[in-house]
Amino acid sequence: MLHDGISSPHDGPSSLHDGPSPLHDGFRPPDGGLPALLGELTRIAGLPLERGETLPARAYTSEDFHRLERDRVFGSDWVCVGHVDQVARPGDYLRTDVLGTPLVITRDETGELHALSRVCRHRFMDVLPAETTPDQGSLKRLTCPYHTWTYRLNGEFAGRLAGAPLMNKVDFDRAACRLPRYRLEVWHGLLMVSGDPDAPPLGPQLADLDATLAPYRLADLVVAYTERWDGVPANWKVAFENGSENYHHMGSHADTLERILPGKDTVVDECEGRGFSMYTPFAPDMEMPRGPDGMDLVGTLIPGLGMRQLSGMTVAGVFPNMVLALLPDSVTFVRWVPTGPATHDALVTVLVPAQARQRPDFDAYVTASKEQFKVIQAEDLVAIRGVQRGLATDPAPSGGRFSHLERPLWQFQRYLAERLAGVGAGAP
Ligand code: FES
Ligand SMILES: [Fe+2]
């Protein structure tokens, strides 16, 4: 029998003011703020997958939780900022803001890569403002456009002040003036940056993914295109979690992906730590995906792939916020970057083999691929926005449980508990 706390659209306001009782579906214990939320995160992260639960809604809406993530996740952990092809030649630069701080990645004349702050040491100007400079390009030196202080880009001197006009009449230590440098590691061709000078190297933490990724030779691929969806109205974790499971293919993508890559056939690897992987074979009866005008959407195959890679899609994820979809002709990596507690930017980069660019129909392939991606993204956004609307009502804990296909979400909770609450990885 339905109890009388459930309201219908015809109920007057009085039915909402009966006061919560312990039996009321909407009853919630008093909000204990951030400590209570971290306590709940710790408890949930200690559950085995078989009894795993979804995080409380406030983990996706709270300002305090968001600030902690900015500090302990994006501000200090390894985060992907791009691919080596975006800074392929000496002098190339790539602007990025994904750590919540303005950075530029540069390649010096010896081929070495650097991650430098873009905040001028004079009066805090962005030395490569988006208003006047493209996201990537080539530079000899970094010159702040405000008062033209100039910084070196080479080797050990990268970030050092090279010149500052009209500063000779004041007491100014030029030698000590330098743009802060960030840790940078190249992992399978991806540019990974950390704001923590003491962060343990990333590669060994992701060693479990090496064999899965190796056949695709990511470092040799080139960028076909990038896309971005700015200001998506959902917490970044909602979108990351959506991208970390294929369970939703049968719902969100019933007419698209599910026909090619049925979610139920996905095998999720029993990964631990900060990386996960899964594999979905192509549907035996699938039709080749076609673009507008019946164009063949299969691009140039990545050289050297084995039968397994040619027969399905591998998905690999790296906490906090990146998922790679590895297909026989392309590798797409998506990053979800928070811009507030309930908003994020989704950044998409599609990699293809270098030979693909020689195809006479490469531009048409890119156009068709973008269109196809937009269709999938539109389907995902229905779920991502819809989940956030549910979370924004601050519902009582739903007791939401995970399918075995959602193992990466369960694993993600352990990562979050470790970063945010200091709980040891895999702690009970
Ligand atoms: S703020 Fe950069 S030169 Fe003045
Ligand atoms: Fe999806």
Helix count and strand count (H, E) for the chain: 8, 17
Q: Half-sphere exposure of 18 toward its Cβ, with a 13 Å CA cutoff?
A: 17
Residue 294's pLDDT is 59
Compute, in angstroms, the gap from residue 405 CA to the centroid of ligand 2. 14
pLDDT at 425 over 80: no
Give me the percent of the chain exceeding a pLDDT of 90. Answer: 83
What residues are neighbours of ligand 2 (ion), with CB under 5 Å?
380
Segment 108-115 shows an average pLDDT of 96
- For residue range 11-57, list pLDDT tens digits in order: 333 333 333 444 444 445 556 799 999 999 999 999 999 999 999 99
- Cβ(144) – ligand 1 distance below 6 Å: yes
Lowest mean pLDDT among 233-247, 254-268, 302-316, 414-428: 414-428
pLDDT at 408 over 70: yes
User: Comparing C-alpha atoms, which of 407, 48, 412 is closest to residue 240?
Assistant: 412
Secondary structure in 3-state letters for 12-29: CHHHHHCCCCCCCCCCCC
Which atom of ligand 1 lies closest to the CA of 144?
2
Lowest mean pLDDT among 305-309, 361-365, 386-390, 420-424: 420-424
- Cβ(167) – ligand 1 distance below 6 Å: no
Residue 242's pLDDT is 98
Nearest CA to ligand 1 atom 4: 147
Nearest CA to ligand 1 atom 3: 147
Determine which helix (DSSP H) or strand (DSSP E) holds 349, and give its type and residue range. Answer: strand 343-352
Lowest mean pLDDT among 93-107, 150-164, 210-224, 289-303: 289-303
Q: In what order do the strands lie in the sheet with 150-151?
A: 142-143, 150-151, 161-163
Q: Which domains does the chain have, with CATH numbers?
A: 79-187 (2.102.10.10), 210-395+404-419 (3.90.380.10)
- Per the prediction, the chain carries an average pLDDT of 90
- For residue range 236-257, list pLDDT tens digits in order: 999 999 999 999 999 999 999 9
Which ligand is the nearest neighbour of the Cα of 123?
A: 1
As a whole number of angstroms, the distance between CA 91 and CA 139 comes to 5
pLDDT at 7 over 60: no
- Cβ(122) – ligand 1 distance below 6 Å: yes
Q: Half-sphere exposure of 300 toward its Cβ, with a 13 Å CA cutoff?
A: 19
As a whole number of angstroms, the distance between CA 98 and CA 295 comes to 35
pLDDT at 8 over 80: no
Segment 79-83 shows an average pLDDT of 98
Give me the percent of the chain exceeding a pLDDT of 70. Answer: 89
- Whether residue 351 contacts residue 221, with contact meaning beta carbons closer than 8 Å, is answered with yes
Residue 100's pLDDT is 84
As a whole number of angstroms, the distance between CA 31 and CA 28 comes to 8
Residue 382 is which amino acid? V
Ordered alpha helix ranges (H), 231-317: 236-243, 257-260, 307-310
Segment 396-421 shows an average pLDDT of 92
